[in-house]
Structure 1
Amino acid sequence: MFRLTLLFCTILLACGNASEPKETVIATKDYSQKHNEALAYCKANGFSTEYYFLVDLNVHSGRNRFFVYDFTQKKITAQNLVTHGACDAFEQNSSMYEKVKFSNRVDSHCSSSGKYKVGSRDYSSWGINVKYWLEGLEESNNNVRDRVIVLHSWEAVQDTEIYPNYSPLSWGCPAVSNNFMRTLDTKLKATKKPVLLWIVE
């Protein structure tokens, strides 16, 4: 009888937590090749060699996929959730939540992959009212200025992982949580050289 009761309670607990966020999972993918390539790019192009931002849109949007990598410490020092572009597919349970599509076309509202220069700090009507203009450095993202794709925060983005749920969709901007944006803003204001942001697919 005790075993049956214990089993029943275990099932109830599991079912009751089915939609609850699971605990944070530290990045387990091997990004060493990306880090090495990023450092070489930064050295060759006058970017900061202190750190860079890596955004892996292959990762589920309910998982951390915006990484701050410290070149000196050779490790990820901060990570959080980040949105991807909706491509105008906002309906509930849209496949856009699961599989990111990319476009560099103006008004596509999609994400654009490639390397970016994090540009000037400016006012934003979103989140903590801070945004950073992005300059696309490759053919895959050289229209981002015309598309007004910027790094900003948004109250709808959570501070912790929400998997198996998804983060909200954006109009192509990599939007992060307000608290994480404060962390990024502090770092960016203290960095003298341009910072690299690399969105990979």
Structure 2
Amino acid sequence: MKVFAVIFALSIVFSCTNESKGNRHLVADSPVKEENRPEADLFKMAAKGKDALKFCTSEKLNTDFCILIDMSLHSGIKRFFVWDFKTKSIVKKYLVGHGCGSNQWSADGSKDNPQFSNEDGSHLSSLGKYKLWGRGHSDWGINIKYLMHGLEETNTNALKRYIVFHSWDRMSDDEVFPKGSPEGWGCPTVSNNAMKEIDPIIQESGKPVLMWIYQ
């Protein structure tokens, strides 16, 4: 009888110990995911904003604002920023898609590790500074597009590749992390509602606007 009691007691201790370990494991899972959520580096953005203003001034582009796209960030969080030169701050931010490359079109295969290319047919986005100038009709989203004139060696083929700034019905207004945004063939795409906000700002500027895609 005593032997049975000892065995029973040990089994309870062992069971409680395992349950405790299991609970600690379950509790730890949630914070880890939260810690892995990337955030925009504001110091990096401020430095980009400073360089962007110098560039816009020298190239006679709009000096009220520019568009900064940080491709080092996960595509499921907002990484498209409208940067105000006067206040040196973000005034708007949105999700933005990038090129799928050899991955499935409209999926999120490279949501946290996009590749870039200036080659025609690569289906990849290109890094570098662009001049947004030339508003036209798009077959996508709310049927508005802006031509993207590549200003660096990394994006000289943008017009040849039909890389333009437009909206896409598949793009979300809200962050979708840990999922990623749908990937197209290289165009920086935003949601329809985002374009409805950005389009009048660009039109009212009266000057070409800098879009700087960097990593």
Structure 1 residue 26 displacement after superposition: 7.3
Structure 1 length as normaliser, TM-score?
0.85
* Alignment: residue pair count: 185
1:74 and 1:29, CA in 2 relative to 1: closer, same or farther beyond 3 A? Answer: closer
Residue 193 (structure 1) aligned with residue 207 (structure 2): yes
Identity over aligned pairs, percent: 42
Residue identity in the other structure for 1:59 = L
Distance in 1 (alpha carbons) for counterparts of 2:193 and 2:208: 22
- Which residue is 1:68 aligned to? 82
Structure 2 length as normaliser, TM-score?
0.80
Distance in 2 (alpha carbons) for counterparts of 1:36 and 1:28: 14
Q: Which has the higher contact order (CA 8 A, sep 6+)?
A: 1
Q: Which structure 2 segments of 5+ residues have no match? A: 1-22, 31-37
Structure 1 residue 193 displacement after superposition: 1.4
Q: Which of residues 120, 126, 137 in structure 1 aligns to 2:151?
A: 137
- 1:189 aligned counterpart, secondary structure: helix
- Which residue is 1:4 aligned to? none
Contact in 1 for aligned 2:39/2:73 (Cα 8 Å): no
- Which residue is 1:146 aligned to? 160
**Bigger fraction of residues in helix:** 2
Q: Which structure 1 segments of 5+ residues have no match? A: 1-7, 16-24
Superimposed CA distance per residue, residues 62-92 of structure 1 (whole angstroms, 9 cap, x where no aligned partner): 0000000000121100000000100131186
- Which residue is 1:110 aligned to? 124
Contact in 1 for aligned 2:40/2:73 (Cα 8 Å): no
Residue 29 (structure 1) aligned with residue 11 (structure 2): no
Matches within 5 A, 1:174-185: 174-185=188-199
Structure 1 stretches (4+) deviating beyond 2 angstroms?
25-29, 91-94
- Which residue is 1:52 aligned to? 66
Structure 1 residue 147 displacement after superposition: 0.3
- Which residue is 1:128 aligned to? 142
Q: Which of residues 112, 134, 159 in structure 2 aligns to 1:98?
A: 112
- 2:212 aligned counterpart, secondary structure: strand
Max Rg structure: 2
Distance in 2 (alpha carbons) for counterparts of 1:123 and 1:88: 28
Distance in 1 (alpha carbons) for counterparts of 2:42 and 2:121: 33
